[in-house]
Amino acid sequence: MTDPRSAPDPHPSHEALGPVPDWLRQSTPDVRPGLADRLRIRLGRHSVALLGGALVLLLLACFGAAGLLSYDGFARPVAHPTISPPSGEQAVSSASPPPTAGPFDGTPAAGFAEGAAGIALPRARRTGAFTEKQVADALAKVRRALVTARLDRAFFAAEDPERLVRQFAPDARADLRKDFTTGDAVSYATRLAPGSRLTADQPRVRGRISYRATKDAGGIRVLEVTTNFVWAYPFLTASMAAGDGVVVVHDTVVWSVAHPDDVHRSSAGLWIDKADSYGSNIDCAAFDKGLLRLGTPSFGGPADPDPDAVYDPDKTLDLPDTC
């Protein structure tokens, strides 16, 4: 992990990059960009310590993901290794929407479930010190938070994040509010940039949820719930090319609920232990502020060998920056 306080500037100035080559001053050919040309991706990482009385933020540097965009951010073609599913009970999205014309046509998201139908919960079982009911309650808390954070349009545009924050343990809330002021909440919550508008279509969702009983560094018994989802958002755009109006966010979040016998009442409830994410086809400046806005296509740079990888929840989040 990289401490952002010591990380190099991910957006060097043109002066730092040296003279602009002559070929970049030539006029852009009148060619419709392909899917890879429309890819703009940034990886944002955010980690927090669990149940220490207050959440300790470990801000991680933004990394980016595959694709090609501006000439000051070329990346070599890269492979996309898969993610190893965590151990424990898990459930995977399986519902598929009926075939209809819309903004997702021509993209892998056309086969994803619509909205909350894509968030399938695993069966609750007695796990470690947690009863079946405690497991079911914890899973329900996580699902409710996911729906609010990633699918609730009222939350997307709300002035404050309380609609989501109040779903967490009281001791967790102050640091969560800070995440929204610094932009770090982008790793687990969707907020629209001013002026951005979604179509009437529901976002498309694919991913999985798993859980296990474990202990934190202080010996507190916790139920750890890991979510790994791809969220595809349909933004209004005048472009007719497939996928031009679709912003993709892939996140993995580790949620925790402590055993009620091990913590004070103010620490009982939902916490976020760690969150990693990237955004594709985004406005990078808005994403740095924790906001989503549709990116602007551009030309140049090497083509990614698998532009559809950003839609696959089994692909790695550790991808090179193109912003």
Determine the pLDDT at residue 121.
97
17 domain-assigned: no
Confidence of residue 241 (pLDDT cuts 50, 70, 90): confident
322 domain-assigned: no
Question: Collapsing DSSP states into helix, strand and coil, what is residue 67?
Answer: coil
* Among the ranges given (72-76, 94-98, 218-222, 276-280), the one the predictor scored with the smallest mean pLDDT: 72-76
Determine the pLDDT at residue 130.
98
99-155, pLDDT tens digit by residue?
Answer: 556 899 999 999 999 999 999 999 999 999 999 999 999 999 999 999 999 999 999
Q: Which residue has the higher pLDDT, 48 or 136?
A: 136
What average pLDDT does the segment 256-266 reach? Answer: 97
- Domains contained in the chain, number: 1
10 domain-assigned: no
Determine the pLDDT at residue 51.
39
Determine the pLDDT at residue 296.
74
305 domain-assigned: yes
Across the chain, mean pLDDT equals 78
11-20, pLDDT tens digit by residue?
Answer: 444 444 444 4
Determine the pLDDT at residue 305.
58
Determine the pLDDT at residue 252.
97
For every residue of 203-256, which 3-state class applies, written as one string? CEEEEEEEEEEEECCCCCEEEEEEEEEEEEEEECCCCCCCCCCEEEEEEEEEEE
Q: Which residue has the higher pLDDT, 80 or 128?
A: 128
CB-based contacts of 181: which residues, under 8 Å, 6+ apart?
Answer: none
Determine the pLDDT at residue 156.
98
46 domain-assigned: yes
Q: Which residue has the higher pLDDT, 39 or 72?
A: 39
Asked if residue 253 has pLDDT above 50, the reply is yes
Domain span holding position 212: 35-96+105-311
Determine the pLDDT at residue 102.
86
Confidence of residue 93 (pLDDT cuts 50, 70, 90): low
DSSP tag of 26: S
Q: What are phi and psi of 313, to 5 degrees?
A: -65, -15
78 domain-assigned: yes
Percent of the chain with pLDDT over 70: 66
23 domain-assigned: no
145-192, pLDDT tens digit by residue?
Answer: 999 999 999 999 999 999 999 999 999 999 999 999 999 999 999 999
Confidence of residue 272 (pLDDT cuts 50, 70, 90): very high
Asked if residue 45 has pLDDT above 60, the reply is no
Helix, strand, coil share of the chain (percent; to 5): 25, 25, 50
CB-based contacts of 265: which residues, under 8 Å, 6+ apart?
Answer: none
